[in-house]
Each structure stands twice: as C-alpha cells, then as structure tokens.
C-alpha cells in the first residue's frame, strides 16, 4: 500500500473521470479526478502526483497551460495527454517535449491502462 502511485485525472467530460477512476484503482493506483481545471490547478500546488492524465481541449483553460504548470511544479511527473482523434497530430507536434504519451478519443480502457502501466514502470525504474 505504501508505494502506491498517485494519479490525477483532469477532463471536463465527467464520464471520462467517472470511468477512469475505478479502472485505475483496480490496477492499484490512488486516483483523484477533476472536471474543473481551476480545482486541479489548485490541487497540483498542494500535492505531488506521479502521473497526470489531462485532456487538451477544455472549456476554461487549455490543457497546455495546465501541463506546463504540472511540469513546473514537479518536473518528474509523467503526463499523459488525451486528445480528440482529429487533433492528434497537431498535439503530438506541439507537445512532444515532456509528454509521456498521447491517447486519442475515443479510447479503450485497456489502452489507457497499458499506457499508465508503462509510465509507472518508468517511474519505478527511475527510483530503483
């Protein structure tokens, strides 16, 4: 239980948060979810997360600013970006730096679980 990795999920579509939380918890992660970027922003100043999963296109702030802030606060945090299928290429180009991986919507639960597991392996590898 002690070395449980912490994950933050930010997506303004509630369905994404509601589905991801149990799916990741079952893999043994501790998961906090946010649909409001303001609250998520506040949270990353309070707590450090091992993995952050964020959508790129949201109503209030864009995912890019959030992502930059995450990296500024905790450079070692691995960031996974969710993006619409159409904007995948642009997203990859503009964010290649510092992003662990990209996932296009709609995606399978097993896909994101696999990416998160890879990120976790990287973190544990770095710690060892």
Among 2, 93, 106, 126, binds another protein (CB under 8 A): 106
- How many of the chain's residues bind another protein (CB under 8 A)? 25
58 binds another protein (CB under 8 A): no
Residues across the chain: 128
| Cα gap 30→26, rounded to integer Å | 9
22 binds another protein (CB under 8 A): yes
95-104 burial, b for 16+ CB within 10 Å, e for fewer? beeebbbbbb
25 binds another protein (CB under 8 A): yes
90 binds another protein (CB under 8 A): no
Triad 3, 98, 82: Cα angle to 5°: 80
Binding site for another protein (CB under 8 A): 1, 4, 13, 15-16, 18-20, 22-23, 25-28, 84-86, 105-110, 112-113
């Amino acid at each position: 239980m002690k070395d449980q990795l912490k994950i933050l999920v930010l997506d303004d579509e509630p369905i994404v948060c509601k589905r991801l939380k149990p799916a990741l918890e079952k893999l043994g992660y501790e998961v906090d979810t946010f649909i409001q970027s303001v609250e998520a922003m506040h949270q990353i100043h309070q707590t450090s997360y091992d993995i952050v999963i964020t959508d790129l296109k949201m109503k209030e702030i864009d995912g890019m600013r959030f992502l930059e802030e995450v990296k500024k606060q905790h450079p070692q945090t691995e960031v996974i970006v969710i993006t619409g299928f159409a904007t995948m290429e642009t997203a990859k180009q503009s964010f290649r730096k510092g992003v662990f991986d990209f996932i296009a919507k709609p995606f399978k639960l097993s896909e994101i679980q696999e990416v998160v597991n890879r990120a976790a392996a990287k973190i544990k590898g770095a710690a060892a």
